Every structure is written in structure tokens, then in C-alpha cells.
């Protein structure tokens, strides 16, 4: 019996139970039957949760690009692997076959090797959503270099932090990127970032926007001429199962971003398996995930998951509102998309616009629609289900994280009955538990708790680049022996999970995971600011928006608060990026602090949300009177 595909609910429970009773047999069989290996593993999994030490498929040898590309060439060489839909609808879409993808990746891999990149070197990729981005990722994987894709909306200083943290040797970028009616000057941002990054000796630049740029002698080169010269045959490096495949930075609740490290074999098995099942992938499907490849969703479900299954995956350069709000629907009709995977923030934004935009297009090709990145509210769920899925496409609300590598809790399309706002059941192999405040496992249903996972799964990130202690402290110390997700969840009467949101200091704004600390650091750099605290508050479209409580220095120089608000937002844009700008600001004299000096954020969250009902236990506050002052200041 194959475990790779679940066909009905009864089989789901069978596979699920097998995966819990005999996880080694379960994952071992999936790995053996569906992938190409140079050498088999010794142990399917070897772990010590207390030490945060997890290994999958020990001693196995493979190259993931053999599995994403070469393996398909015989049967699917002329099948489209990637459809590229440009920002401008008048520019022709590009169809790249598996044969062409193989050629492009080999050429790129050879260029990287010629430029001195070797197995284990880190390569920063700062590109728009164009085919070169997917090709660069795969070329790194081909030669065993570790890719570190940085979202092309981050500022120079945010990129620099990420490049320095993992000491990247090379940056792959473009002259610029198109996004709606804007052009983003990517090379200029990289030039500024690299002033602080001595490890980078080579920059390869793709031409996309024809923006005039500076080329630094000895460091920068145009990519195209190098590709033209390169051979289209490239031997794949033999990688160990646990060799790092990539680093992807995610926000932490404190300090600098965390470089989550994903390794080769486990990530491969997890993303391939979840893609196949959750989306009910079949051979002739055209899969479209609208995420940015700079986030984990793009890594796992635009690039790796689909290509591992020999699928056709769409990559879209633009935004849902350009040239108008019908763009998504137009693309679905144009490419006859069968699975459409997007984020609640996009759904809410589009649901606010006229229904005419949706109704003007034929969306009958769709069979599964999915959501990811934050809790989907009931109204958005129904709008998506009624108007996009025409009530016939299962809505797969998929819960997972950068840290988990792939989907963890989600309906399996056409197998698991869906329920609005519920991510429903864990996928086979995933063992979630809810923990109470006393750190005990909550048995039974209809309860809320902290969401942990009690057994390793193949896609789990193995460490934080350069800081294993932080990895251990962040994920394995709150609930010993378990992985703590940072999310709260509720389990209903039949065991379905509903994710209620972050329980730590991370705020999800328009699906972007933002740590409060780096934003506060940026605000505090403003000369007028003494201290600040930011929290999220509910926002109709973004899910959450940021509310800043700011204490000013007593210099009296900054009397114009409106200008000050603008300047503070500019500081945030420069240090973190425009996605982290504050929607609201309130100047206060003090912040509510405990005797140990910790800001009591739950109080600020309530004030920001306009909920003044019950502030709970404030006995540990040093300055309880400040609550009324801040509250009155808000009114």
C-alpha cells in the first residue's frame, strides 16, 4: 500500500494512525517510493527534542534538483514546468518546459561555479518574482550552495542584516523590479546594503526594468552574458540528507531576525507530500500560489512542492490591484488555473471591491482554493467560498510556519470536510498538542491552549543559522520535549483546530510576520523618541495593523506631531521596510511596566483595539495609574 496519497476520510485516519504508531515506516515508505536517491538512509529519524537535535534520513545522499527536474525529463520534458505571468498584462506570459528549466538551471549552476561559489557557500537572492528567481534557487541547490532569498520589499538595512548574519559570498539581484505601477530600484538598494557587507565579493545582475544602475568594478557583472557563455550541462552535487538547503529569515519576538535553516531530504519529502495531498494535485493541473517567493510559502508551494511533483506552477510578478482589481480573476481564466492558493489579506482587499471584477471572468477551471498566512475570518472565508470557489471548491485553510517548512494542519481537498475559519485536522505525520498555562497537555476537546507539536516531522527547520542556542530557547524551552509554535489554538468537539493567533510579540500584518523589537528599535533611533512600544490592532483588510505608543524626549523641539509621525514612519521604512509602517501613533508619558521592567503589552493591545472592558490582573504593574492616562489619551 502506498502512503503518498490519501483518497478518502477513512484512509486519512488509517494513514494518520499509522504515522503516529510507526512514523519511521510511514515516512520511510513515502521517501523510498517517490524520490530519487544516490544512497539510502540508515535511520528515517534520529532525534533528541530536549537538545533540539533532529535528523531525518540520516546518511542518505541526494540532490533535490534531480527530484524537481531531472527525474521528470523522460516523461515530462516538454510539459510546462513554470508559467511566468508578468506584472504588465500586455507583456506575453512565458511557458518554460521541464527541458528548458533543466537547461536554465544547469547554465546558472555553471555560472555560479565559475564565479567561485562552492558547496556550503551562502548566496543571497534579492530578485523580483521572475523566472530567474526560481532558476537561481534551483541552481544553488544543484551545486549545494545555500540560498538565502530576501524579500525584495526589504530596505537596504534589513537586507544588510540578513546578508551579514549568514556571511553571503554573492548576491543575485536585478536592475529593478516592477510592482503594479511602481518600479523598485533593487540594485540601488543592494549597493547601499553592501556598504556594510564585506563578505560579498560578487554581484550578478539580471536585466529586468532597464533602470540605469552603477556597476562596481571587480564586484558586479550582468548575468545574461555569463549565462550565454555557460554550458547547459551541470553535474548535480551529491548532498547529504542533512546538508542545509536554504536559510530563510523570519521575525523573532526579540532582537535580530532568525535565519531558519532547512535541510535537504526532510524538506523535500514534506513539501512534496503536503502539496500532493492538500491540493489534490493531479497530472494536468495548473497550480497558482500568489505568495512572494521571498517567503516560505513561495519556497515550498511555488518552487519546491509543485516541481517535486512534476506540476505546472505559475509565478506572478505583479499585485492583485494592477492594472485593476480583476487581475487575479483574469489570470485564473487566462491560464485555466485549477488550484489557487492565496492569503486572507488579499481576499479581504478584493472582497471590498465590486463583485463585477470577479463575475466578469470564467473561474470554472478551479477545483481547490486555499488560504495561508494568518487566521481567515468568517466573512472572508465565505466570500472566497461563494464567489471564487462557487461553493464547489474545497477551501483549504492551511496552517504552518517558516519553521515548519510545509503545511501541518489543513483539510485534504475532497477528503476532509471543511469548516469556516478552521484549519481542521493535522496531516498524517503531524502530532499537535494544546498546552495549558501550567505546561500540561490539554486532553479532550473544546479547549484553547498553546499549540505545540510533540513529535518531529520531516520539514522542521533544524536550527537558526549561527545560533543553535536561540533555536533551542525559542522553540523547545517553553514546553520541554515539544516544539512550541508561538500560536494559540482551539480544538472543537470533533478535534478540528482553529488557530487563534500569535501568543508572542509577533504581529502579522497583511500576512507579513513582523517582530515588534526591530520596529521599536527603528522608532527609537529617531532623535525625538525616548522609548516606544508597538502592538497590533484589528484592521479590516490587513488583519492587523500597527499601533505605536511613543514617549518623546523632553526637548520640546518636536511640536508638530503630524510631521513627527511621518518622520517616524520614514525611519521604519529605512530600517525595516514600508510593510512595517505604523497605522496609528499615540504619544504617551509612560508605558505600563511590570516591576521587572517588562512592558505589559496585553494592556496596550486592548487599548489599541479600543477595548477598555477588563484589563485583567494589573497587580504586577509598577505604574497602574498610567492605564487610565493612556486610555483617556486615546479617546
Alpha-carbon distance 212 to 175, whole Å?
A: 7
Q: Does 406 bind ligand PRX (CB under 6 A)?
A: no
Inter-residue contact 425 to 411 (CB < 8 Å): yes
- CA 189, CA 186: separation in Å to the nearest integer? 5
Does 402 interact with ligand PRX (rule: CB under 6 A)?
yes
Residues 574-633 contacting ligand PRX, CB under 6 A: none
Query: How far apart, in whole angstroms, are the C-alpha atoms of residue 492 and residue 446?
Result: 4
Q: 549: which strand partners?
A: 533, 586
DSSP 50: G
- Give the number of residues in contact with ligand PRX, rule: CB under 6 A: 22
The two beta strands, 339-342 and 286-289, are parallel
Determine, following the binding rule CB under 6 A, whether residue 499 of this chain makes contact with ligand PRX.
Answer: yes
Q: Measure the CA–CA gap between 372 and 502, rounded to whole angstroms.
A: 14
Q: How far is CA 442 from the centre of its chain?
A: 29
* Complex with ligand PRX: residue 299 or 526, whichever CB lies closer: 299
Q: Establish if 508 lies at the interface with ligand PRX (CB under 6 A).
A: yes
Cα-based distances in Å from 348 to 104, 338, 352, 506, 543: 37, 21, 6, 21, 9
3-state secondary structure of 413: coil
β-strand partners of 147: 123, 246
Site stretch for ligand PRX (CB under 6 A), options 18-26, 323-331, 392-400, 528-536: 392-400
C-beta closer to ligand PRX: residue 335 or 470: 470
Helix (H) or strand (E) holding 572: helix 561-575
Q: What share of the chain is helix, strand, coil (3-state, %, to 5)?
A: 35, 25, 40
DSSP state of 610: T
ω into 9 cis (within 30 of 0): no
Contact between 35 and 63 (Cβ < 8 Å): no
Closest separation between CB of residue 398 and ligand PRX, Å?
A: 5
Among 132, 240, 285, 374, binds ligand PRX (CB under 6 A): 374
Cβ at position 112, least distance to ligand PRX in Å? 27
Q: How far is the CB of 32 from ligand PRX (least distance, A)?
A: 28
Alpha-carbon distance of 611 to 630, in angstroms, equals 13
- Binding to ligand PRX (CB under 6 A) within 313-372 occurs at 372
In the bound complex, what is the minimum distance in angstroms from residue 304's beta carbon to ligand PRX?
14
Contact in structure between 343 and 372 (CB atoms under 8 Å):
yes
Q: Is 385 in the site for ligand PRX (CB under 6 A)?
A: no
- Binder to ligand PRX among 400, 465, 484, 547 (CB under 6 A)? 400
User: Any alpha helices (H) in 52-96, and if so which ranges?
Assistant: 64-68, 73-76
* Three-class secondary structure of residue 578 per DSSP: helix
Rounded to a whole number of angstroms, the minimum distance from the CB of residue 578 to ligand PRX is: 17
**Measured from the CB atom, is 165 or 487 closer to ligand PRX?**
487
Site for ligand PRX in 223-262 (CB under 6 A): 250
User: Helix, strand or coil for residue 32?
Assistant: helix
Taking the least distance from each CB to ligand PRX, the nearer of 28 and 411 is: 411
CB of 358 to ligand PRX, least distance (A): 22
Grid coordinates of 509: 500584518
CB of 421 to ligand PRX, least distance (A): 8
Only one of the segments 125-133, 327-335, 373-381, 475-483 lies at the binding site for ligand PRX (rule: CB under 6 A); that segment is: 373-381
Q: Choose which of 132, 487, 504, 520 interacts with ligand PRX (CB under 6 A).
A: 487
513 interacts with ligand PRX by CB under 6 A: yes
Toward ligand PRX, which CB reaches closer, 62 or 289?
289
Using the contact rule CB under 6 A, the part of the chain among 142-150, 173-181, 232-240, 393-401 near ligand PRX is 393-401
For the bound state, the minimum distance from the C-beta of residue 487 to ligand PRX, rounded and expressed in Å, comes to 5
Q: For the chain, how far is it from start to end, CA to CA, in angstroms?
A: 64
How far is Cα 71 from Cα 95, in angstroms, rounded to an integer? 19
Closest-by-Cβ residue to ligand PRX is: 402
Q: Which of 155, 209, 280, 297 forms a contact with ligand PRX (CB under 6 A)?
A: 297
User: Any contact of residue 502 with ligand PRX (CB under 6 A)?
Assistant: yes
* Residue with smaller CB distance to ligand PRX, 297 or 339: 297
Q: Give the rounded distance of the alpha carbon of 190 from its chain centre.
A: 22
b/e burial code for range 416-428 (CB count within 10 A of at least 16 → b): bebbbbbbbbbbb
Q: Which is nearer to ligand PRX, 378 or 617 (CB)?
A: 378
SS3 39: strand
Q: Which cell is 14 given?
A: 488509517
For ligand PRX, which residue of 125, 143, 163, 296 counts as binding (CB under 6 A)? 296
Among the candidate windows 139-147, 186-194, 275-283, 483-491, which touches ligand PRX by CB under 6 A? 483-491
Binding residue for ligand PRX, selected from 244, 294, 375, 518, defined by CB under 6 A:
375
* Least spacing, CB of residue 409 vs ligand PRX, in Å: 8
Q: Which residues, in sequence order, are bridge partners of residue 339? A: 287, 368
**Residue 157 or residue 250: which is nearer to ligand PRX going by CB?**
250
Among 310, 486, 515, 577, binds ligand PRX (CB under 6 A): 486
Taking the complex as a whole, how short is the minimal distance between the CB of residue 295 and ligand PRX, in angstroms?
6
CB of 179 to ligand PRX, least distance (A): 20
- Smallest distance from ligand PRX to CB 451, Å: 8
Binding ligand PRX by CB under 6 A: which of 263, 401, 463, 474? 401
Closer residue to ligand PRX, CB minimum distance, 28 or 432: 432
Our finding on whether 423 is near ligand PRX (CB under 6 A) is yes
Task: Please state, as a whole number, how many other Cβ atoms lie within 10 Å of the Cβ of residue 559.
Answer: 7
- For ligand PRX, give the closer residue by CB, 158 or 627: 158
Strands (DSSP E) found in 361-461: 368-372, 395-398, 432-435, 447-453
Contacts with ligand PRX, residue ranges (CB under 6 A): 250, 295-297, 372-375, 397-402, 423, 485-487, 499, 502, 508, 513
Amino acid at each position: 500500500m502506498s502512503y503518498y496519497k490519501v483518497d478518502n476520510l477513512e484512509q486519512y485516519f488509517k494513514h494518520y494512525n499509522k504515522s503516529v504508531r510507526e512514523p519511521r515506516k510511514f515516512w520511510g515508505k513515502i521517501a523510498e517510493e517517490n524520490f530519487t536517491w544516490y544512497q539510502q538512509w540508515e535511520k528515517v529519524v534520529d532525534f533528541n527534542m530536549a537538545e533540539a537535535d533532529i535528523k531525518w534520513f540520516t546518511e542518505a545522499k541526494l540532490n533535490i534538483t534531480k527530484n524537481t527536474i531531472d527525474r521528470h525529463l523522460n516523461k515530462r520534458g516538454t510539459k510546462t514546468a513554470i508559467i511566468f505571468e508578468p506584472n504588465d498584462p500586455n507583456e506575453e506570459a512565458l511557458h518554460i518546459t521541464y527541458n528548458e528549466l533543466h537547461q536554465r538551471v544547469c547554465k546558472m549552476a555553471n555560472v555560479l561555479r565559475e564565479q567561485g561559489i562552492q558547496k556550503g557557500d551562502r548566496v543571497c537572492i534579492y530578485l523580483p518574482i521572475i523566472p530567474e528567481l526560481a532558476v537561481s534557487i534551483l541552481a544553488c541547490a544543484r551545486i549545494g550552495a545555500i540560498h538565502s532569498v530576501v524579500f525584495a520589499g526589504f530596505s537596504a538595512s534589513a537586507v544588510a542584516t540578513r546578508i551579514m548574519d549568514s556571511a553571503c559570498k554573492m548576491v543575485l539581484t536585478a536592475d529593478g523590479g516592477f510592482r503594479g505601477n511602481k518600479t523598485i530600484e533593487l540594485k540601488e538598494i543592494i549597493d547601499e546594503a553592501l556598504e556594510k557587507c564585506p563578505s560579498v565579493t560578487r554581484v550578478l545582475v539580471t536585466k529586468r526594468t532597464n533602470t540605469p544602475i552603477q556597476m562596481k568594478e571587480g564586484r558586479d557583472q550582468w548575468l545574461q552574458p555569463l549565462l550565454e557563455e555557460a554550458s547547459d550541462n551541470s553535474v548535480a552535487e551529491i548532498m547529504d540528507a542533512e546538508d542545509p538547503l536554504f536559510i530563510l529569515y523570519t521575525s523573532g519576538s526579540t532582537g535580530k531576525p532568525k535565519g531558519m535553516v532547512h535541510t535537504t531530504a526532510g524538506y523535500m519529502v514534506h513539501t512534496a507530500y503536503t502539496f500532493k495531498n492538500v491540493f489534490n494535485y493531479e497530472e494536468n493541473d495548473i497550480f497558482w500560489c500568489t505568495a512572494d517567493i521571498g517567503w516560505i510559502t513561495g519556497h515550498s508551494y511555488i518552487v519546491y512542492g509543485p516541481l517535486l511533483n512534476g506540476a505546472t506552477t505559475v509565478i506572478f510578478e505583479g499585485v492583485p490591484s494592477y492594472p485593476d482589481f480583476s487581475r487575479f480573476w483574469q489570470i485564473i481564466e487566462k491560464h485555466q488555473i485549477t488550484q489557487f492558493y492565496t492569503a486572507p489579506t488579499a481576499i479581504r482587499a478584493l472582497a471590498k471591491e465590486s463583485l463585477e471584477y470577479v463575475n466578469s471572468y470564467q473561474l470554472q477551471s478551479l477545483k481547490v482554493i486555499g488560504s495561508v498566512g494568518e487566521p481567515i475570518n468568517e466573512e472572508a472565508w465565505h466570500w472566497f467560498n461563494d464567489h471564487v470557489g462557487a461553493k464547489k471548491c474545497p477551501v483549504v485553510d492551511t496552517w504552518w510556519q517558516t519553521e515548519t517548512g510545509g503545511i501541518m494542519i489543513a483539510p485534504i481537498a475532497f477528503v476532509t470536510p471543511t469548516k469556516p475559519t478552521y484549519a481542521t485536522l493535522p496531516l498524517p505525520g503531524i502530532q499537535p498538542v494544546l498546552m495549558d498555562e501550567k505546561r500540561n497537555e490539554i486532553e479532550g476537546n473544546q479547549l484553547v491552549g498553546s499549540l505545540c507539536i510533540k513529535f518531529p516531522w520531516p520539514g522542521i527547520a533544524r536550527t537558526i543559522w549561527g545560533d543553535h542556542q536561540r533555536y533551542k530557547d525559542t522553540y523547545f524551552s517553553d514546553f520541554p520535549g515539544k516544539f512550541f509554535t508561538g500560536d494559540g489554538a482551539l480544538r472543537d468537539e470533533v478535534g478540528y483546530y482553529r488557530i487563534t493567533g500569535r501568543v508572542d510579540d509577533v504581529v502579522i500584518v497583511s500576512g507579513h510576520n513582523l517582530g515588534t523589537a526591530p520596529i521599536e528599535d527603528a522608532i527609537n533611533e529617531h532623535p525625538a523618541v525616548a522609548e516606544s512600544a508597538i502592538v497590533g490592532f484589528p484592521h479590516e483588510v490587513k488583519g492587523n495593523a500597527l499601533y505605536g505608543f511613543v514617549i518623546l524626549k523632553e526637548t520640546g523641539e518636536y511640536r508638530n506631531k503630524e510631521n513627527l509621525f511621518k518622520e517616524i514612519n520614514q525611519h521604519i521604512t529605512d530600517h525595516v521596510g514600508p510593510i512595517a509602517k505604523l497605522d496609528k501613533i499615540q504619544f504617551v508619558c509612560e508605558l505600563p511596566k511590570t516591576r521587572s521592567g517588562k512592558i505589559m503589552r496585553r494592556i496596550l493591545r486592548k487599548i489599541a483595539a479600543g477595548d477598555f472592558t477588563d484589563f485583567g490582573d494589573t497587580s504586577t504593574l509598577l505604574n497602574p495609574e498610567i492605564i487610565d492616562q493612556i486610555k483617556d489619551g486615546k479617546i
